[in-house]
Amino acid sequence: MSSYIDKLNWRYATKSFDTSKKISEENLQILKEAMRLSASSYGLQPYKIFIIENSDLRNKLKAAAYNQPQITDASQLIVFAGKTDVTAQDVTEYMENISAVRNIPLEALQGFSDAINGAVVTRTQEAKAIWTAKQCYIALGNLLSAAAHLNIDTCPMEGFNAAAFDEILGLKEQCLATAVIATIGYRSEEDQTQHYAKVRKSHENLFTTL
């Protein structure tokens, strides 16, 4: 556990990336698997994750992120996009996946299907969009921790024009909306932020045991 805590102390929101260093394909696959295995409500994973490497596309997205250099300087840009609607068809496809992976008859999953339809699908579209965005943040957390484990730097970012991102990436047509983004790569030696002491609440101020 101490080594895990050491990695979390090591990580910070990297402001300046070394443009000459790229994440290996092996490590990128590990990060992708970490995001794929992330927890999500009901296990539904109501989002898509875009790994942006194309330089022209990243330049367009940089302009939509107030020209923050991380967008183009990092090894990759990760965009988490939540579904703008969750339908009964989504639930059906999820049940079919469970049935195939676990070798369970679809009929045996009817109760689970009904529960999701009743708790999620019946919500307003606005409520569903908020819910799917929250699921994106859980996957983001997995990415940050997995990257730290591999000594890969990250910068989670909310400072961007979501509507512009959606337009550039053609997300509206896919019934998706950008929720949060992150850049991944390796810190520049010139990034002074890496030397800052980590500031967090004390245990006494943060935790309450009842």
Domain locations in the chain? 9-86+125-187
196 vs 170: CA distance, rounded Å:
38
CATH placement of domain 9-86+125-187: 3.40.109.10
Cβ neighbours around 178 below 10 Å, total: 25
pLDDT in tens, 82-136: 999 999 999 999 999 999 999 999 999 999 999 999 999 999 999 999 999 999 9
138 vs 179: CA distance, rounded Å:
11
User: What is the pTM (predicted TM-score) of this model?
Assistant: 0.96
**Cβ–Cβ < 8 Å for 182, 140:** yes
**Cβ–Cβ < 8 Å for 164, 66:** no
Question: Do strands 47-52 and 176-185 pair parallel, antiparallel, or not at all (unpaired)?
Answer: unpaired
For residue 182, the number of C-alpha atoms closer than 13 Å in the C-beta half-sphere is: 24
Q: Long-range pairs for 172-175 at CB < 8 Å and ≥24 separation?
A: 172/84, 174/48, 174/81, 175/83, 175/84, 175/85
Residues 6+ apart with CB under 8 A from 131: 41, 46, 86, 120, 123
pLDDT in tens, 130-183: 999 999 999 999 999 999 999 999 999 999 999 999 999 999 999 999 999 999
